[in-house]
């Protein structure tokens, strides 16, 4: 089977992987946007060197707690671990709708978020020297020094408040969902 005749499952897997990368990689997202508009790929950019921040260890409990909440409300882990190749598009679409609804509820119940930039996507803007490089990722042909003028491709998201439930003493956060045994 050639690339122009990929199966639905191959295309679905690719779409989910691309979706995840678009959300986490601004340069990739900008490239997809250019490709969708039919624009030619830009010349290789000259990298702008930024200092490497010191790395620190994180505690996994909050990440595990969030994953458990996504499983509880949206059956997120079940969906990801399911081999969906045996299901029809309609069945997968129905399942995705349930997972989306549950996961969206978790995010809205436990996180207050706001856009990093107030401008509408597609707006032209100028970034002055000293802009927050952790909050704004430059993509495309990045050369020279600020100010930089470009098009806002994604407004970004910032968490302003986290309201995760407290964990009981002795609770094992690695158990995302207990096994169920019916008697």
Could you read off the pLDDT of 21-48 as tens digits, one per residue? 787 788 888 887 888 787 665 555 556 6
How confident is the prediction along the chain (183 residues), in pLDDT tens digits per residue? 455 567 777 777 777 777 777 877 888 888 878 887 876 655 555 566 667 888 888 778 899 999 999 999 999 999 999 999 999 999 999 999 999 999 999 999 999 999 999 999 999 999 999 999 999 999 998 989 999 999 999 999 999 999 999 988 999 999 999 999 999
pTM flag (> 0.85)? no
Q: Is 57 exposed, middle or buried (0-12, 13-18, 19+ CB in 10 A)?
A: exposed
Q: For the chain, where are the E strands, in sequence order?
A: 111-115, 124-127, 148-151, 157-162
Cite the DSSP H helix spans in the chain. Answer: 8-24, 26-37, 61-74, 76-81, 89-110
- Count of Cβ atoms closer than 10 Å to residue 79 Cβ: 19
Task: Please check whether residue 117 is in contact with residue 151, taking contact to mean a CB–CB distance below 8 angstroms.
Answer: no
């Amino acid at each position: 089977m050639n690339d122009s005749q990929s199966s639905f499952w191959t295309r679905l897997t690719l779409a989910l992987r691309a979706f995840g990368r678009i959300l986490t990689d601004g340069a990739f997202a900008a490239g997809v946007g250019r490709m969708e508009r039919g624009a030619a790929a830009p010349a290789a950019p000259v990298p702008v060197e930024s200092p490497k921040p010191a790395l620190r260890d994180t505690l996994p409990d909050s990440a595990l707690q969030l994953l458990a909440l996504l499983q509880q409300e949206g059956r997120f882990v079940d969906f990801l671990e399911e081999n969906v190749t045996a299901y029809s598009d309609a069945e997968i679409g129905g399942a995705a709708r349930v997972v989306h609804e549950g996961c969206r509820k978790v995010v809205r119940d436990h996180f207050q978020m706001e856009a990093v930039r107030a401008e509408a996507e597609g707006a032209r803007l100028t970034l002055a020297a000293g802009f927050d490089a952790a909050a704004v990722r430059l993509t495309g042909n990045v050369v020279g020094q600020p100010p930089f003028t470009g098009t806002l491709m994604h407004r970004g998201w910032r968490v302003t408040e986290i309201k995760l439930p407290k964990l009981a003493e002795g609770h094992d956060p690695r158990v995302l969902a207990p096994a169920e045994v019916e008697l």
